[in-house]
Amino acid sequence: MTKAIAVTVWNEFRHEKSNAEIGKIYPEGMHGAIAAHLNAAGGIEARTATLDEPEHGLTEKILAGTDVLTWWGHMAHGEVADEIVDRVQEHVIAGMGLICLHSAHFSKIFRRMMGTTCSLKWREAAEREVLWATKPGHPILAGVEDPIILEHTEMYGEFFDIPEPEATIFISSFAGGEVFRSGCVWARGAGKVFYFRPGHETFPIFHDPRILKVVENACRFLAPAARSEVTVSHRKDIGWFEK
Amino acid sequence: MTKAIAVTVWNEFRHEKSNAEIGKIYPEGMHGAIAAHLNAAGGIEARTATLDEPEHGLTEKILAGTDVLTWWGHMAHGEVADEIVDRVQEHVIAGMGLICLHSAHFSKIFRRMMGTTCSLKWREAAEREVLWATKPGHPILAGVEDPIILEHTEMYGEFFDIPEPEATIFISSFAGGEVFRSGCVWARGAGKVFYFRPGHETFPIFHDPRILKVVENACRFLAPAARSEVTVSHRKDIGWFEK
Amino acid sequence: MTKAIAVTVWNEFRHEKSNAEIGKIYPEGMHGAIAAHLNAAGGIEARTATLDEPEHGLTEKILAGTDVLTWWGHMAHGEVADEIVDRVQEHVIAGMGLICLHSAHFSKIFRRMMGTTCSLKWREAAEREVLWATKPGHPILAGVEDPIILEHTEMYGEFFDIPEPEATIFISSFAGGEVFRSGCVWARGAGKVFYFRPGHETFPIFHDPRILKVVENACRFLAPAARSEVTVSHRKDIGWFEK
Amino acid sequence: MTKAIAVTVWNEFRHEKSNAEIGKIYPEGMHGAIAAHLNAAGGIEARTATLDEPEHGLTEKILAGTDVLTWWGHMAHGEVADEIVDRVQEHVIAGMGLICLHSAHFSKIFRRMMGTTCSLKWREAAEREVLWATKPGHPILAGVEDPIILEHTEMYGEFFDIPEPEATIFISSFAGGEVFRSGCVWARGAGKVFYFRPGHETFPIFHDPRILKVVENACRFLAPAARSEVTVSHRKDIGWFEK
């Protein structure tokens, strides 16, 4: 109970290295900024993993010790190995939380968990986004102001091709008039998936304490009561109910 | 199968009589405008009922012959008799469709079907609303342009206190930056409930062919396959399963 | 965070007084048995309230200090005052958890929160029930064996007239062949509602440690992060979003 | 409107050829039995396709002309080519209905649409199954008796690893005491998916008029209003909302 929540912050980590301006915003990478906040928050132990590490930093051992995995990817979704996607999916089904951030809507793992294309409309115009809370009292919203106004963001617009959310936490409007379901929760097997929209690489979104607080809250909410050793797939072998 | 869908268009019908400007927009009442469209659409037979008729025009006989009931109310929610609300609820549970329009979010019948306060933020500033389709392929959206832009509307904003929708059909943005779940479907018993936001009495919303098309589509979608003679409450008396 | 969860265990408390056999099973009432377990569980402070107390023991002050309310009623649903039902509903919307047990499916408060008749099939034949877990990993199932077999229960059978559950935790089968959604969760406003089927007054169900564990888990799961002072209905008054 | 619904009945079609007893039950294959019923039902034009045909009989042209695809597979799930699974998924997202029958719970396409393992408990003991209707009034149940009792079936038991259904149509009990969500609907993109449990190859389930009626009803329910030429993925290219 007093054990810290083990979070693995995964990042594609390419934009920060290939684009000087982005590198200046995130000298330690977006994963570094997120992990630093989580480690300072109390009750969470965050480590990081990135695409170019062996097995993308997501070995069986790492995932078995992960309560919640956060995922940011954009330009290299296709380079994520299918067997790692399989592995992450298995761990979500067995109880691990999965938080997909911003452009991770098009990641293999998010599309895998949703069963849909996860496509959307988009526009880069550094425009204003207003995120409205649509589930007051939800743990992900604890201590978060409503609405959250972000002055400069990339726009994502509906139709967002996702299954109907089991809980819609945020809906955004954009200066151009679009709307977007920006925070959504689904259960999958024994695990939960949270999609959270903000996080475009050219803006310092992951330095914004409000955004970081949402990610932190989501880590606490998605952490399984106990990282179960009995996975769902084992359960299919329990066999008969004794008559 | 070739039988027409029987729609009862219910209206509080007070604003049109007490306010000359509104009366000019809707000389036959909002119910008259809606019913005229439905009767011209083909396959639908619409009649009307209003608050000040005996039993609000919603006798047992009328409801028993109604496939879909549309509801508009605003200034006199409290004058709707509880026994009529009970009666409407029973018919929804037994399969009748219910469409609640605009300020009917605060009607007794809508709050009864939802179990929540159905409260929301609002502002009258004749501002622009953009309704985005969030369920492409849904029958309610058939032949309806996306987005629907309404230049002058009353604003409704989140948090809208409703149960998580089973299907979210429209989400709106407003010029002021707010968002709203403007078209939502829930099943209740053998019936379905559709909430649709547009319809403020001071604007000619129910003369807009796009809005009328949505209401028409919803009537077709909510009409029960057959108006069941076996109600849900009879079913509780079926008794034993014979071993 | 280390503050105990405040649970109010409400009981109609009539069967125990009018029927000697039931009184023997529950000398302190069903509420006494449930509260005793909760108070021994750690981190929970449970008190009780019953129908025949003034305001049914559910004053504004009591409810304002309650994180989770459990409800058992059967023979006297109609004697619960409507203004108390209103009051309980308001507190659920503002974040209080509500657990409805067994025959509370027909209570005013449960039907209020659902919007449906909550009717079902039933039979008293002291038959075997098997409760299967259908949401592995859910906090309500923590440490609970799967399946739970109850040798002697009253049967409840589908169709159970409830809105589609947001999370289905248990489904039961009965010796006679019926099935029932025995554990279901819905969000309403800032609060959550849990229905749990077992608990017929003529069987010592609330002395069964597995059943008590489920109720205890549900109390922990439904307790709001913080009993919010900002209710949903206050939120409707926030007014404009400042442009 | 008067155009027939185009159904493609897909079958693995191996058991019928490799096992003489199964071949005797289904001399035209399970697909033949299902298609014969659908073609006699009125308003439906059914054709068949099987695993061993080129492209498994599911060319782009065939799928583009299909309103609803039914799927039965069991022993050769792994032989279904991934590119065909991709193609079927795209058509579901664009509006095509998908009905997965019995052991198709483990098909690539069903697991793809769900995002979960779709695992379950099972036992072959030719035992009694009782399917209870849990959504009265739903079009899939039109004219179908409640409950449906099947004297000899393979058992499937919970936990069935699926996302929470958007509509639960049937729940089964088995003689051994297990339960199973036997009829479930989910929306995916512009399409809908229906899972229906009965259909073990060694029993003449697809000669049972009640089972065939459910499949027929599901075809009518899942058929898109119009097979849309605008797919969801085209929609992501609409681009800007013009300010």
Q: What is the pLDDT of residue B239?
A: 36
Chains A, C: CB pairs < 8 Å = 45
pLDDT tens series, chain B, 243 aa: 468 999 999 999 999 999 999 999 999 999 999 999 999 999 999 999 999 999 999 999 999 999 999 999 999 999 999 999 999 999 999 999 999 999 999 999 999 999 999 999 999 989 999 999 999 999 999 999 999 999 999 999 999 999 999 999 999 999 999 999 999 999 999 999 999 999 999 999 999 999 999 999 999 999 998 665 444 443 333 333 333
Q: pLDDT, tens digit, for every residue of C191-221?
A: 999 999 999 999 999 999 999 999 999 999 9
List of chain B residues whose C-beta atoms are within 8 Å of the C-beta of residue C164? 166, 187
Cβ-Cβ pairs closer than 8 A, A with D, add up to 92
Q: Residue A218 and residue A99: Cα distance in Å, rounded?
A: 8
Does D186 contact A at CB distance below 8 Å?
A: yes
Q: Are strands A5-11 and D68-72 parallel, antiparallel or unpaired?
A: unpaired
Q: Per-residue pLDDT for A233 more than 70? A: no
What does the pLDDT look like over C158-179, one tens digit per residue? 999 999 999 999 999 999 999 9
Cβ contacts below 8 Å, chain A against chain B, sum to: 63
C193 touches chain A (CB under 8 A): no
Q: What is the model's pLDDT at position B227?
A: 61
Instruction: Tell me whether residues A159 and B136 touch, CB distance under 8 A.
Output: yes
Handedness of CA D241, A162, A130, A123 (dihedral sign): negative
- Residue A162 located in a structural domain: no
Q: Do A116 and D243 touch (CB under 8 A)?
A: no
pLDDT above 90 coverage of chain C, percent: 90
Condensed to tens digits (0 to 9), the pLDDT of residues B120-142 reads: 999 998 999 999 999 999 999 99
Closest-CA distance, B212 to chain C, in angstroms, reads 28
Q: Is 60 exceeded by the pLDDT of residue C107?
A: yes
Nearest to A233 by CA among A98, A34, A92: A92
- Share above pLDDT 90 across residues of chain A, in percent, rounded to a whole number: 90
Please give the residue of chain A at the shortest CA–CA distance from B177. A173
Chain B CB within 8 Å of residue C158 CB: no
Q: Which residues contact C79 (CB under 8 A, 6 or more apart)?
A: C51
What's the total number of domains in chain C?
1
Q: Which of residues 31-60 of B touch C (CB under 8 A)?
A: none
Contact present, C55 and C84 (Cβ < 8 Å): yes
Q: Which residues of C touch D132 (CB under 8 A)?
A: 157-159, 178-179
Would residue D133 count as lying in a domain? Answer: no
Chain A touched by D230 (CB under 8 Å)? no
Q: At what angle do helices C29-41 and C209-222 cross, to 10 degrees?
A: 70
For D200-215, give one letter per residue: b (16+ CB within 10 A) or e: bbebebbebeebbbbb
CA distance A142 to chain C (A): 8
pLDDT confidence of residue B238: 34
Q: Does A19 touch chain D (CB under 8 A)?
A: no
Determine, yes or no, domain membership for C173: no
For residue B194, the distance in angstroms to the closest alpha carbon of chain A comes to 16
Q: D89-119 pLDDT, tens per residue?
A: 999 999 999 999 999 999 999 999 999 999 9
| Chain B CB contacts of C123 below 8 Å | 239-240
Q: Which of A221, A238, A234, A139 is nearest to A189 (CA)?
A: A234
- Identify the pLDDT of residue D51: 98
Q: Which chains touch B (3 or more CB pairs under 8 A)?
A: A, C, D
Cβ-Cβ contacts under 8 Å, B134 against chain A: 158-160, 181
Query: D2: pLDDT confidence band, cut at 50, 70 and 90?
Result: low
Q: Is D175 a domain residue? A: no
By percentage, how much of chain C surpasses pLDDT 70? 92
D168 touches chain C (CB under 8 A): yes
3-state secondary structure chain D: CCCCEEEEEEECCCHHHHCHHHHHHCCCHHHHHHHHHHHHHCCEEEEEEECCCHHHHCCHHHHHCCCEEEEECCCCHHHCCHHHHHHHHHHHHCCCEEEEEHHHHHCHHHHHHHCCCCCCEEEEEEEEEEEEECCCCCHHHCCCCCCEEEEEEEEEECCCCCCCCCEEEEEEEECCCCEEEEEEEEEECCEEEEEECCCCCCCCHHHCHHHHHHHHHHHHHHCCCCCCCCCHHHHCCCCCCCC
Tell me if chain A has a CB within 8 Å of the CB of D24. no
Contact A228 C139 (CB under 8 A): no
Give C191's contacts in chain A (Cβ within 8 Å): 137
**B136 and A130: CB-CB below 8 Å?**
no
Compute the average pLDDT of residues A211-228: 90
Query: Residue A238 has what pLDDT?
Result: 34
A166 touches chain B (CB under 8 A): yes
Q: What is the mean pLDDT of residues A79-106?
A: 96
Which of D158, D172, D185 has the highest number of chain C CBs within 10 A, making it the mutation to test binding with C?
Answer: D158
C-alpha closest to that of B29 among B10, B46, B5, B44? B10
Among all residues of chain D, which has the CA nearest to that of A119?
D236
C238 in contact with B, Cβ within 8 Å:
yes
pLDDT in tens, D172-222: 999 999 999 999 999 999 999 999 999 999 999 999 999 999 999 999 999
Helix (H) or strand (E) holding B185, with range, is: strand B179-188
Q: E strands of C51-136, at which residues?
A: 68-72, 97-101, 121-133
Q: Backbone phi, then psi, for B129, in 5-degree steps?
A: -120, 135
A39 CA to chain D: closest CA distance, Å? 31
Cβ of residue B172 closer than 8 Å to a chain A Cβ? yes
CA distances from C102 to A108, B43, C74, C182 (A): 44, 45, 9, 9
pLDDT given for residue D225 in this prediction: 81
The whole-number pLDDT of residue B225 equals 80
Tell me if B130 and D241 make a contact (CB, 8 A cut-off). Answer: yes
Question: What's the confidence (pLDDT) of residue C157?
Answer: 95
A contact test, residue of B118, B166, B171, B185 with most A CBs within 10 A: B171
Which residues between 129 and 148 in chain D have a beta carbon less than 8 angstroms from any beta carbon of chain C? 130, 132-134, 136, 147
C-interface mutation test, from A68, A138, A174, most C Cβ less than 10 A away: A138
CB–CB of C157 and D130 under 8 A?
no
Determine the pLDDT at residue D236: 35
In a domain, A221, yes or no: yes
Identify which of B164, B166, B179 has the shortest CB distance to residue A171: B179
pLDDT at A241 over 80: no
Strand partners, A72: A11
Q: Which residues of D fall within a CB distance of 8 Å from C155?
A: none
Give the pLDDT confidence score for residue D67 in this predicted structure.
97
Q: Using an 8 Å Cβ cutoff, are A50 and A79 in contact?
A: no
Cα C165 from Cα C186, distance rounded (Å): 6
Residue range of the domain that includes C75: 5-115+182-235
Residue A171: pLDDT over 50: yes
Q: Is D130 in Cβ contact with B228 (below 8 Å)?
A: no
Is C128 within a domain? no
pTM over 0.90: yes
CA dihedral (A17, A20, A21, A26) in degrees, to 10, reads 40
Size of interface B-C (CB pairs under 8 A): 91
* B190 near D CB under 8 A: yes
Which residues in B lie closer than 8 A to residue A179 (C-beta atoms)? Answer: 130, 132, 171-173, 179
Separation between Cα atoms, residue B9 and residue B141, nearest integer Å: 20
Partner-chain contact C176 B115, CB within 8 Å:
no
Indicate whether this complex's ipTM tops 0.90: yes
Nearest to A241 among C137, C147, C235 (CB): C147
User: Binning pLDDT at 50, 70 and 90, where does residue C227 land?
Assistant: low
Give residue A225's pLDDT.
Answer: 81
**What is the domain-level CATH number for residue A55?**
3.40.50.880
Strands annotated E in chain C: 5-11, 44-50, 68-72, 97-101, 121-133, 148-157, 167-174, 179-188, 191-196
Write the residue in D142, D187, D232 that is nearest to B225 by C-beta. D142
